[in-house]
Amino acid sequence: MNSVSGSVGADLRALRKSRAITLSDLAATLGRSVGWISQVERGISEPSISDLRKFAKVFDVSVSFFFRNDDAPAEERDYVVRASNRRSLGNPSAGLIEELLSPDIGGAFEMVRSTFAPGAELTEPQTRETEESGFIVSGTLDLWINDRKFRLEAGDSFRFRHESYRWKNPGTVETIAIWTIAPPVY
């Protein structure tokens, strides 16, 4: 059974810090006090489902991101993520569905499974203070790093650091990539 985990506060804190959002800015955006958000991050207060929806919107993650499988054997928690229990990330309406493969976002890096819909495209270049690498499992992905375009096919891999990037799935089938990001951004 899925339930809000005691680590939701740690996840919220990691999301906030990875996006360089201050407690004050988050409090203003959510219409909550800095003290309450601090208590949630420290596990002292538990947010309601309504609060989780607001956090999810601010951080562009699904509400299910904050739920974990409490039925997992205790020895697997914090170590293993079963395929049926991955947490969804990102924005499916933009043609990209991402699933967190790492047990949480509190480590030095995160690993995600990215599924790019046919024709999906990130049109505006992004630059993050991260080092990122990936492996194309299936399909084709056009990846621009700075102004250089690379066409990646199944079995190809890539890496970039603090550089502008954008992507497009030029194909007619989904493209699946395993993407590693350090430090975590979700």
Q: State the CATH number of the domain containing residue 22.
A: 1.10.260.40
**126: burial class by Cβ within 10 Å (0-12, 13-18, 19+)?**
exposed
The answer as to whether 70 is a domain residue is: no
Supply the range of the domain harboring residue 113. 83-182
Q: Which residues does 25 contact at the CB level (< 8 Å), separation at least 6?
A: none
The answer as to whether 178 is a domain residue is: yes
Average pLDDT over residues 54-72: 76
- Structure tokens belonging to residue 33: 């006090």
**What tens digit of pLDDT does each residue of 98-136 get?**
888 988 777 889 899 999 999 999 999 999 889 999 999
Which one has a higher pLDDT value, 2 or 94? 94
Considering the domain architecture, whether residues 88 and 164 belong to the same structural domain is answered as yes
Considering the domain architecture, whether residues 56 and 87 belong to the same structural domain is answered as no
The answer as to whether 67 is a domain residue is: no
Considering the domain architecture, whether residues 56 and 93 belong to the same structural domain is answered as no
Q: What pairs with residue 166 in β-bridges?
A: 144
Q: Which residues does 146 contact at the CB level (< 8 Å), separation at least 6?
A: 163, 164, 165
- pTM, to two decimals: 0.74
Considering the domain architecture, whether residues 104 and 36 belong to the same structural domain is answered as no
Here the contacts of 83-89 (C-beta below 8 Å, separation 24 or greater) are 86/113, 87/62, 88/61, 88/62, 88/64, 89/61, 89/62, 89/65, 89/186
Considering the domain architecture, whether residues 93 and 176 belong to the same structural domain is answered as yes
Considering the domain architecture, whether residues 31 and 102 belong to the same structural domain is answered as no
pLDDT of residue 5: 42
pLDDT of residue 183: 87
**What tens digit of pLDDT does each residue of 66-110 get?**
766 566 788 887 889 888 888 776 666 678 888 889 887 778 898
Considering the domain architecture, whether residues 95 and 49 belong to the same structural domain is answered as no
**92: burial class by Cβ within 10 Å (0-12, 13-18, 19+)?**
middle
